[in-house]
Every structure is written in structure tokens, then in C-alpha cells.
Amino acid sequence: MRKVWSTPPERAADPAEGPGRAALAVVVHGAFFALLGASLARFLLRHPADPRTPWVIALSIAVALLYVLGPAVGAAPTPRRLGWLGLVIASWVVLVLLAPSFAWCAVPLFYTALRTLPPRAAVVLVAALTALVVAAQLKLATGAFDPTLVLAPPAVAALATAVFVHMERQAQRQRDLIDDLIRTRRELAATERREGTLAERQRLSMEIHDTLAQNLSSQQMLLQAADRTWDTDPDAAHRHVRTACEIAARGLAEARRLVHDLAPSELAGGAPLADALRALDAGPDVTVRFHLEGTPVDLPERTKSALLRIAQGALANVREHAGARTAALTLSFLGDQVVLDIADDGRGMSPPEAPGTAAPDTTRGHGLPAMRARAHQLGGTLAVESTPGEGTVLSVSIPLEHTP
């Protein structure tokens, strides 16, 4: 079985990697291969028996394969990506020295360099490649000196660099705005939770003061009066005791009402646990399926409430941390125990005790410690199994003979 650890929340999707940037990348990559193929075709047509032909063909194939097999661009520079870019540029430079017409592939390589290197290093590399392109164009030129061969490549390089830098700045502004929005939403949600918690605590304190505390105070006064008159006026003392008993009965009814009000609303009116679990969801991006196995039995309210709260907490982890598309709830009645499994197809994670892995979040109300505590209070157990990349399954088992 694969079963839910709490994992750190994902960062918001980078707007720079959206559909517009993806479409631009497709165009640039397509242009590179088109220009590479056109340059090779031009060389073969104009130099059919040239001794450089095998080298040019081999290097063209090598550059194409390096370009295809290279790592994705757009993330922080790594030694692997820098080495890959160096190999592509070096192979292309040799091609240009052998066949100057391959200089036409420079503009897509400008884009790749700008996407791979830090801005200053990328500008220096673009300038060096532009100088090589100018030299190649002058070598190909015949007849009188053409100033456009010297001015056009730098102008194109400057335009491509300016457009890219502008796009990056716009993307960074979008990232900053999205980060601010996410931070503001989290702060607002935290504020609303705090206000809701304070309001609920105030409501409960008023309820307790107006009912249980008043009843207990009245009982205390009546019992004290009964104690004072127990020997001198037994009848009055008995009346005080009977009145205190009536007040105690009313207080007990009020206490039961408060406990009932604190129970999950999904189980109001004695609703079956299966119906409450079937109605749960994990947000618009996660499909939740419910399965019932075995013959259902009537469970105590405390057991139903604990299982429902555990399911809600697990689905909250699935929604916020797992990156899953589907989740499955399975409620099984196995004769001597009731078992609830919550499985997802998310990213999963390594056990927290493994070296270098983060421990589950223990500060959240629906964290694993809280779920495990709910199960242990009912004499049950909670188990979690998870494999990175293969999803997570949480399983809680409660013996029926121990359900209060």
C-alpha cells in the first residue's frame, strides 16, 4: 500500500512559464532547426565535393542532438546546463568556422543563452557570438563592402536582447504581484480564522456563563442553605436539595446540548457516517471517490465524529500539499473493527525519519499528530505509507468493541 505525509506547499506557478512563453519557446526551437537545416542544405548545394562535407554533416547532427537532449531552460543555472550550453555553442562555433552560412543560427542561440545564463554573462556571450556572425558574413561577402553586414547582426542581437530583457522584467513583475497576492490571501485567511476562533470562544464562554455557571452557582447556594437548615428545619433543607437536583438536571441537559452543537454538522440528526464521507471534497482540482465495504453498523457519535475529522484533515493535506488529481475514501466494516483509508495519486514523500527529509507539519489542526491522537483516544491506530512519486495512503483502524 502507498499511504499521507504533510508536504510543504507548492509555490504558485511561474507566469513566465505560461502558454505565451511556451509558444515562444516552440517558435525559437523550430526556427533553430529550420535555420540549421537550411544552412546544411546551402553548404551541400554549393560545395558538393568539398572535403569539409563529412565534418559539417557530423557537426550539424551533433549540434541538433545536443540541442534536443539538453535540459529545460528557465531555471537557475546548474553545472549540467552550463556544460550543455558550452557544448552547443562550441559545436556551433566550429560549424561557423567550417561553413560561415551556419551563422544564421545565431538568433535562436541568443535566446537560449539569455534563458540559461545570468543577465550579464548572457549579454557578454551574445556580444561575442555577434562578433563571430559579423566575421562570418564578411567572409561570405563578395564584391564591394556592404555596411549592412557589419551593422545588421549587432542590431538584430540588440533587438533580441532588449525584447527578452523586457519580457523577463514583465514576468518578474507578474511573479512579484502573484507572490504578494498569495501572501495577502494567506494573511487574510489567517485573520479570518483568528476572528472566527475568538468569536466562537466568546459565544461558548457566554453560553457556559449563562447556563452551566449559573446553574452551578444556584446549586451551591441551595446546598449551602440545606446544610445550614438540615437540623433546624429538615423540610426546608429537603426542598433546597430537591430544587438543587432539578437545577442539576437542567444543567445536564444544557451541557448535552452544548456537546451536541460542537459535533460535526455533517452528522447532525444522526446522519450515517458513509453519507457524510461521500459528501466530502478536496477542492475543484481533486476528484474524490467514496467506497463502502462490508455491512455498516451503527457507530457511536464520538467514533463517527473522529473518523469524519480525520478524513477532512487528510483531504486538506491532499488539496494543499499532495498535488494529486484523485483521492479515494474507503470505509470498511470488518466485523471487529471499522477501517477508513484515504488514498491519493499525488507526489508522495519519504518517511520523515529518513535522513534529510522534513517532518510532517505538526502545527496544523488537521496534522498527522492530531489525527493519530483522535484514533488513539478510541483505542485505534493510524498508519501512513508513502512513496515519492507514487502517492500516499492514510489508514485509520478503530476496534468496534472499544468504541465508547
Domain boundaries, the chain: 15-140, 196-268, 271-402
Grid cell at residue 226 = 440545606
Residue 130: CB partners within 8 Å, gap ≥ 6? 106, 153, 154, 157
Q: Tell me the Ramachandran region of residue 186: left when phi exceeds 0, alpha when psi lies from -120 to 50, beta otherwise.
A: alpha
Phi and psi angles of residue 381, each rounded to the nearest 5 degrees, phi first: -135, 155
The cell numbers describing 212, all together, are 452551566
What pLDDT sits at residue 340? 93
For residue 32, give the C-alpha cell: 533553430
β-partners of residue 327 are: 288, 344
pLDDT at 358: 38
Nearest to 12 by CA among 136, 176, 144, 207: 176
Given this model, what pLDDT does residue 331 score?
Answer: 92
pTM (predicted TM-score) = 0.40
HSE of 159, CA atoms in CB hemisphere, 13 A: 8
Strands 287-293 and 326-333, bridge-based pairing: parallel
C-alpha cell at 331: 470505509
Tell me if residue 350 falls in helix, strand or coil: coil
| Strand (E) or helix (H) holding 236 | helix 234-262
List all residues 6 or more positions away from 268 whose beta carbon is below 8 Å from its beta carbon: none
For residue 40, CA distances in Å to 26, 104, 176, 190 come to 21, 11, 44, 61
pLDDT digits (tens, 9 = 90+) for 131-189: 887 787 777 666 666 676 677 777 777 777 777 777 778 878 888 899 999 999 889 88
Residue 42 grid coordinates: 546551402
Evaluate whether the domain defined by 271-402 bears CATH number 3.20.20.10. no
8: left (phi over 0), alpha (psi -120 to 50) or beta: beta
Question: Which three cell numbers, joined as nine digits, stand for 332?
Answer: 470498511
CA–CA separation, 187 and 305 (whole Å): 29
Helical H segments across 263-391, by residue range: 273-278, 301-317, 368-377
Low-confidence residues of the chain: pLDDT under 70:
1-21, 24, 70-77, 140-146, 148-149, 206-207, 209-211, 257, 259-270, 284, 350-367, 402-404
